Amino acid sequence: MRPDQERDYIEYVTGRLARLHRTAYMLCGDAHRADDIVQTTLTALYTHWKRVATADNIDGYVHSILVRRYLDERRLRWSRVRLGEVPVHAAVAGAADHDIVERDALMTALRALPKGQRAVVVLRYFDDLSVEATAEALKCSVGNVKSQCARGLATLRAVLGPDRQVSTALGMRDAS
For 5-44, what is each residue's pLDDT tens digit? 899 999 999 999 999 999 999 888 888 889 999 999 999 9
pLDDT at 154 over 80: yes
pLDDT at 175 over 90: no
pLDDT at 85 over 60: no
Residues 48, 43: Cα–Cα separation, whole Å: 9
State the average pLDDT over residues 126-143. 89
| DSSP codes of every residue in 40-89 | HHHHHHHHTHHHHTTSS-HHHHHHHHHHHHHHHHHHSGGGG---SPPPPP
pLDDT at 173 over 70: no
State the average pLDDT over residues 100-116. 82
The answer to whether residues 134 and 120 touch, using CB atoms and an 8 Å cutoff, is yes
The answer to whether residues 65 and 138 touch, using CB atoms and an 8 Å cutoff, is no
Q: How high is the pLDDT of residue 18? A: 93
pLDDT at 172 over 80: no
- Read off the pTM: 0.62
Q: Which range has the worst mean pLDDT, 36-40, 90-94, 128-132, 155-159?
A: 90-94
Domains of the chain and CATH, by start: 1-87 (1.10.1740), 94-176 (1.10.10.10)
